[in-house]
């Protein structure tokens, strides 16, 4: 068995440049960058000159000729389903950025293909690998706040077009096939389903609150683009067990000091901060017998480890392929999340409550990875 996973990257945009290409260098004991493919082959060559591997301008050619164990699909959302399926058909394991697919039907097909072929599909976002998620799951599993009755999730921003230092054109994030739901909701939904399992039903409203956007930086700087997909989504959902929740997600929030998730239990409250990942946990308890009550910070171990970083999905794939470890960020959970997103659009259009057809059972909290020391795994 090889000691490094030979990986080919398709799509040399922001995700590759910010996360995955540096990850292959810092974790070169586990990963070997074998190829980079981009429609701009000169850009692919620029990165292979820096990080190694062979450049390609055509994805099918890379799959046919490059010596690869796995492919990282880092292209715009509309290409994910086809490119993941092509990689599986070519006998390659896959890492895919969020969302895994646009359509629930394609997500199910990918799950079936992977399971039938014995191949792994490692899915972003990397919440299920993060030390903060592990700690949150531990608290809930041990009943620290009792039965959870109500949940509030806020997973909103102004979108990547508002960021400084954009390495590529982010205008496509506001168009059909993308939008705040597909880009942002996955973080909150993976966190939620990792804690409590699958959603049973939902009711949603959606609108476009900001029909035009000006790109702040990068190649499209100063360009005005039309938002052709709803940028403001509010959902009420039912987790079963008499537990209800609300979620807002989209591209209409410039900033907030509110937690990204609040969990209201029969014996306390947990508030979660950190945006995409669980970086801070606040716990409220009230002891009626001693009148001791108040808020406290909960320690999260491992926030300086490799599992706290975005490309941890690559390391999870390497562990699964090379060492036979379970893949904790697999496609069945993401298929459930994608069904949720699809049902949001259906509910918003019909004005009706809709029911989920899939379920998800999360792993135990102590099955998630934990490393305390950073060692050589930090990304500079």
Asked whether the predicted pLDDT for residue 60 surpasses 50, the reply is: yes
- pTM score > 0.75 for this model? yes
Q: Considering the domain boundaries, does residue 277 fall inside one? A: yes
Asked whether the predicted pLDDT for residue 147 surpasses 50, the reply is: yes
Distance of CA 333 to the CA centre of its chain: 11
Asked whether the predicted pLDDT for residue 355 surpasses 80, the reply is: yes
Question: pLDDT at position 373, please?
Answer: 59
Question: pLDDT at position 3, please?
Answer: 87
Given pLDDT bands bounded at 50, 70 and 90, which one contains residue 377? very low
Structure tokens at 310: 């975005």
Q: Considering the domain boundaries, does residue 41 fall inside one? A: yes
- pLDDT digit string, tens, across residues 19-44: 999 999 989 999 999 999 999 999 99
The CATH number for 243's domain is 3.30.360.10
- pLDDT digit string, tens, across residues 70-87: 999 999 999 999 999 999
Q: Considering the domain boundaries, does residue 319 fall inside one? A: yes
Report, as an integer, the average pLDDT of 318-336: 96
Report, as an integer, the average pLDDT of 360-364: 97
Q: Which of 67-76, 273-282, 364-373 has the lowest mean pLDDT?
A: 364-373
Domain match, 99 and 142 both:
no
Q: Considering the domain boundaries, does residue 373 fall inside one? A: no
- pLDDT digit string, tens, across residues 114-129: 999 999 999 999 999 9
Asked whether the predicted pLDDT for residue 180 surpasses 90, the reply is: no
Strands (DSSP E) found in the chain: 5-10, 31-37, 54-56, 70-73, 93-96, 121-123, 148-156, 201-207, 212-214, 224-226, 232-240, 243-250, 261-265, 268-273, 280-287, 292-298, 354-355
Residue 125, Cβ density class (10 Å: 0-12 exposed, 13-18 middle, ≥19 buried): buried
Given pLDDT bands bounded at 50, 70 and 90, which one contains residue 179? confident
Asked whether the predicted pLDDT for residue 379 surpasses 50, the reply is: no
Q: Pick from 186, 187, 161: which is nearest to 174 by CA?
A: 161
Asked whether the predicted pLDDT for residue 188 surpasses 80, the reply is: yes
Report, as an integer, the average pLDDT of 295-307: 94
Domain match, 88 and 216 both:
no
The CA distance from 233 to 250, in Å, is 6
Domain match, 153 and 50 both:
no
Question: What φ, ψ does residue 153 adopt, rounded to 5°?
Answer: -125, 135
The CA distance from 267 to 361, in Å, is 24
The CA distance from 99 to 124, in Å, is 7
Domain match, 169 and 285 both:
yes
Report, as an integer, the average pLDDT of 144-170: 95
Domain match, 89 and 163 both:
no
Query: What is the number of domains present in the chain?
Result: 2
Q: Considering the domain boundaries, does residue 378 fall inside one? A: no
Who wins on pLDDT, 1 or 357? 357
Domain match, 98 and 24 both:
yes
Domain match, 56 and 106 both:
yes
Domain match, 139 and 108 both:
no
Average pLDDT of the chain? 94
Domain coverage including residue 250? 130-301+336-355
């Amino acid at each position: 068995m090889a000691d490094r996973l030979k990986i080919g990257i398709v799509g040399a945009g922001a995700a590759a440049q910010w996360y995955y290409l540096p990850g292959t260098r810092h974790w070169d004991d586990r990963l070997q960058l074998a190829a980079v493919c981009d429609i701009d082959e000169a850009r692919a060559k620029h990165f292979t000159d820096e990080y190694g591997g062979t450049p390609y301008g055509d994805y099918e050619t890379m799959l046919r000729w490059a010596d690869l164990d796995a492919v990282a699909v880092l292209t715009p959302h509309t290409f994910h389903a086809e490119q993941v399926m092509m990689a599986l058909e070519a006998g390659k394991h896959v890492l895919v950025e969020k969302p895994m697919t646009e359509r629930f039907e394609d997500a199910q097909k990918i799950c079936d293909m992977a399971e039938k072929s014995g191949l792994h599909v490692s899915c972003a976002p990397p919440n299920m690998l993060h030390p903060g998620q592990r700690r949150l799951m531990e608290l809930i599993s041990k009943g620290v706040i009792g039965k959870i009755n109500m949940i509030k999730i806020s997973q909103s921003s102004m979108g990547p077009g508002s960021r400084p230092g954009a390495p590529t054109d982010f205008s496509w994030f506001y168009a059909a096939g993308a939008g705040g739901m597909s880009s942002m909701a996955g973080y909150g939904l993976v966190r939620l389903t990792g804690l409590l399992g699958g959603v049973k039903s939902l009711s949603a409203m959606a609108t476009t609150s900001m029909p035009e956007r000006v790109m702040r930086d990068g190649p499209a700087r100063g360009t005005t683009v039309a938002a052709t997909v709803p940028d403001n989504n509010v959902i009420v959902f039912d987790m079963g067990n008499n537990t209800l929740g609300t979620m807002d997600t989209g591209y209409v929030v410039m900033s907030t000091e509110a937690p990204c998730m609040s969990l209201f239990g029969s014996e306390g409250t947990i508030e979660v901060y950190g945006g995409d990942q669980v970086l801070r946990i606040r716990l409220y308890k009230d002891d009626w017998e001693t009148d001791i009550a108040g808020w406290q910070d909960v320690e999260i171990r491992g926030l300086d480890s490799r599992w706290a970083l975005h490309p941890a999905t690559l390391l999870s794939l390497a562990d699964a392929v090379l060492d036979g470890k379970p893949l904790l960020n697999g496609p069945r959970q993401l298929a459930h999340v994608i069904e949720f997103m699809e049902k949001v659009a259906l509910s918003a259009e019909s004005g009706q409550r809709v029911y989920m057809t899939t379920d998800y059972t999360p792993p135990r909290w102590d099955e998630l990875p934990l490393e305390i020391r950073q060692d050589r795994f930090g990304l500079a």
